[in-house]
Amino acid sequence: MVSLETYRDIVKQILTEYSTHQPAYGDVEMELIFDHQRDRYQLVCTGWNKKRRIYGSLIHIDLKGDKIWIQSDGTEVGIANLLVEKGIPKQNIVLAYQAPNLRQFTEFSIV
């Protein structure tokens, strides 16, 4: 079994990599938010595109028990796929943005 500390390191590594990607439009900053005490990790976009405010969570991941809960995933490749590539078993990843009654139809954990 992979340790919780390994989960933390992998999640931080993935979010840090994504934080280096600059959007093609506007003056947007990619902001990392790591809450180590509560095991909540986010990548938030903040800034402006012309006169329009840009703000939102691109990626939000929580560690709960022995599972990685993907609360929000605004990436094309899918954070769950990256976690699996890094050695995280699918049964330890919850696609929390999916309705609970639909999670059974994915390859990932239902809780």
- How do residues 88-106 score in pLDDT, each as one tens digit? 999 999 999 999 999 999 9
Quote the pTM value.
0.91
pLDDT band at residue 1, thresholds of 50, 70 and 90? low
* DSSP string over 21-74: PPPSSSEEEEEEEEETTTTEEEEEEEEEETTEEEEEEEEEEEEETTEEEEEEE-
- How do residues 73-90 score in pLDDT, each as one tens digit? 999 999 999 999 999 999
- How do residues 9-68 score in pLDDT, each as one tens digit? 999 999 999 999 888 888 999 999 999 999 999 999 999 999 999 999 999 999 999 999
